[in-house]
Structure 1
Amino acid sequence: MLKLFIAILFSATCLAEGGSIIKKTEYGTLYKFPANPAAGYNFDYLLYYPAKLKLSRAVHILVETNNTGRLSDSIAVHEIAAINQASESGVGNYTAEKLGLPFLVPIFPRPAKEPLLYTHALDRDSFLQKNRLDLQLIAMINHARLQLADKGYVVKQKIFITGFSASGTFANRFSMLHPEMVQAVAAGGINAMVILPKDKLSGKKLQYPLGTADIKNVTGKKVDLKEYIEVPKMLYMGEKDDNDAAAFDDAYSIQERELIYSLMGKGLTERWQFMRKIYEEEGVAGEFITYTGIGHGTDLKINDALAEFFKKHWD
């Protein structure tokens, strides 16, 4: 009898292809889907259905990649952080609940045994991996779209993507690699660094993630700069933010750091203004916003601005 009860309970909390409810509150329901290499992704992902998600309106999937904030060889550590990010905290969860958007968070690793592999920021070492995380994320998005459609939701083809700190950096870089997929992108706390829509700067080659010089050679796909330029972008940082990933070897190599400091600026404020200038010169759509009185974090004002940004670019 107990086995039968367990079997019934399990089947009642499952979706197609193994998705299961792992958390449910008055604010929404969180599903976990297992890794599916046949479908193109090797790690589990989470899909959050906020209570405000309705069948009556076509929606964009909102994506925010996980950012554990530390190294660990235990995927369970990254899963716990991702569950919290998807269902309780972070810029993505706030926006999803306020606007009624389905919210996808992958459970990507950040291994301690490979400390220079900064997967959560999609750094160069991650970009050069055979099983690239940006492609696995696309496979997760495609799978999630099927799950939503199976429940009767109408899902738009393009996604919203957001993030803060490492996940913000991932969002910015993903939008350059796959602009045709992105309806709008909001990236904050990104160390006064955006990927530049240029192959060279002052005669120096800008390889990924500083620029676009070698993206086609690595991916086999030419960067669609015209598409990237037109993607609406909200790029922001706090006035008091002194968190500079450029100073650390896991985020940038020595060669990348030298180019950043010599060509773009060593101070965050100086570099942020430089990035704004380059984007303006290249005609890139987007706002560079500096929030006064804020360090490396967000507050209600910023979270509300993010929600309004995505609401503005819904259609």
Structure 2
Amino acid sequence: MTSIVTGSVADRGRATYDLGATAIFASKSDPRFHYCLYVPPAVGEGAQVDLLVAVHGTGRTSFLGFRDAFAEFGRWNDCAILCPVFPMGVLGDDARSGYKYMIEGDIRYDQVLLAIVEEVVAKYRQDWTRFAMFGFSGGGHFTHRFAILHPDRLWAASIGAPGSVTLLDPTRDWWVGIRDLPEKFGITFDAAALAKVPVQMIVGDADLETWEITHAQDSTHWMSGANDAGQTRPERLRTLCRSFEEAGVRVRFDLLPGVAHERDAVLDPVKDFLAQALKERRNASR
């Protein structure tokens, strides 16, 4: 593990850049990708805390908003907040959405995230073998697909308003289904592990615009069945909910009245869900 150097100058630097609302860091495993955190005071006192990974949407700017919006939650629930940044056009092609589908060229975004987690585990001397994940819009894409691939790494997953969904359909290939997970990812879907993860799915009932989520046949991520889960985000998330429930997953489905595609409007019920999941997790470990 990386040691945290002691001494007045080092302690001051650590307090300024590594605790509370941190600086933005490049990933040591792949410096194309970055992250920041909120680290609660308990970590500075040597305590063990839990971890929430909050994943940005297509605009990427929400990563700082998530860090700051969850800071109070993290402080009072002894939970660090990790916000990764997956830049647009990382392959030099201006592509917006590669991270949402977990694989882009030779990049495996699930592995990028896990490498960042291991980096902060070493830095803060924490046991973050399992963590929670929340994502909205593009982050909702990432969160539910990460849960499908790595349910054993999660103690909760909150999936906010993804534009497209991967169903637990063994008759269709990724990303519409999961038939070819072993060939594409070297992973066999573990329904029993996913069923142990508390899941929230959340979307506004006025989140009805389809211009960005309808897959045209000449689009990058087009494949047969790309639009079959529904026309709007609420319809597609309902379809995902049914797919997860049929696999034995306990899903809390929140349809928020009068809410459009508004990230900040979902945060309070997301925090409620995560606080309850955290309480259950800690009670079970006693």
What's the TM-score once normalised by structure 2's chain length? 0.79
Partner of 1:140: 116
Partner of 2:4: none
Give the 3-state SS of the residue equivalent to 2:179 in structure 1: coil
Distance 1:119 1:94 in 2: 31
Identical-pair percentage? 20
Partner of 1:44: 34
Whether 1:119 aligns to 2:98 is yes
Distance 2:184 2:18 in 1: 39
Q: How does 1:24-103 map to 2 (within 5 A)?
A: 28-37=20-29, 42-51=32-41, 55=45, 58-67=48-57, 69=59, 82-86=63-67, 88-89=68-69, 92-93=70-71, 95-103=73-81
Q: Is the 8 A contact 1:246 1:252 kept in 2?
A: no
Paired AA for residue 142 in structure 1:
E
Partner of 1:108: 86
Partner of 2:3: none
Residues 129 and 287 of structure 1: CA distance in aligned 2, closer, same or farther (over 3 Å)? same
Q: How does 1:219-234 map to 2 (within 5 A)?
A: 219-234=185-200
Per-residue CA distance 1:175-234 (angstroms, 9 max, x = gap): 11111111111111223x44222212xxxx2x2222211121012222222212321101
Distance 1:93 1:120 in 2: 25
Whether 1:196 aligns to 2:167 is yes
Deviation at 1:104, TM superposition (A): 1.1
Whether 1:311 aligns to 2:278 is yes
Q: Is the 8 A contact 2:162 2:237 kept in 1?
A: no
Partner of 1:253: 221
Whether 1:240 aligns to 2:210 is no
Partner of 1:275: 240
Residues 108 and 300 of structure 1: CA distance in aligned 2, closer, same or farther (over 3 Å)? closer
Q: Is the 8 A contact 2:41 2:75 kept in 1?
A: yes
Distance 1:102 1:147 in 2: 13
Deviation at 1:243, TM superposition (A): 4.2
RMSD: 3.3
Per-residue CA distance 1:97-129 (angstroms, 9 max, x = gap): 4423111112221118524451342x2xx5143
What's the TM-score once normalised by structure 1's chain length? 0.72
Give the 3-state SS of the residue equivalent to 1:199 in structure 2: coil
Deviation at 1:308, TM superposition (A): 2.8
Q: Is the 8 A contact 1:95 1:306 kept in 2?
A: no
Give the 3-state SS of the residue equivalent to 1:288 in structure 2: strand
Q: Is the 8 A contact 1:45 1:104 kept in 2?
A: yes
Give the 3-state SS of the residue equivalent to 1:264 in structure 2: coil
Residues 41 and 195 of structure 1: CA distance in aligned 2, closer, same or farther (over 3 Å)? farther
Partner of 1:173: 145
Residues 13 and 210 of structure 1: CA distance in aligned 2, closer, same or farther (over 3 Å)? farther
Per-residue CA distance 1:260-295 (angstroms, 9 max, x = gap): 43x422244444433333333232222222111211
Per-residue CA distance 1:37-67 (angstroms, 9 max, x = gap): 3xx6642322221346675864221111233
Residues 285 and 117 of structure 1: CA distance in aligned 2, closer, same or farther (over 3 Å)? same
Paired AA for residue 29 in structure 1:
A
Deviation at 1:301, TM superposition (A): 4.0
Distance 1:296 1:252 in 2: 23
Residues 13 and 36 of structure 1: CA distance in aligned 2, closer, same or farther (over 3 Å)? farther
Distance 1:61 1:188 in 2: 18
Give the 3-state SS of the residue equivalent to 2:37 in structure 1: strand
Q: Which of structures 1 and 2 has the bigger CA Rg?
A: 1
Paired AA for residue 114 in structure 1:
D
Give the 3-state SS of the residue equivalent to 1:209 in structure 2: coil
Residues 44 and 11 of structure 1: CA distance in aligned 2, closer, same or farther (over 3 Å)? farther
Give the 3-state SS of the residue equivalent to 2:112 in structure 1: helix
Deviation at 1:239, TM superposition (A): 0.9
Residues 23 and 294 of structure 1: CA distance in aligned 2, closer, same or farther (over 3 Å)? farther
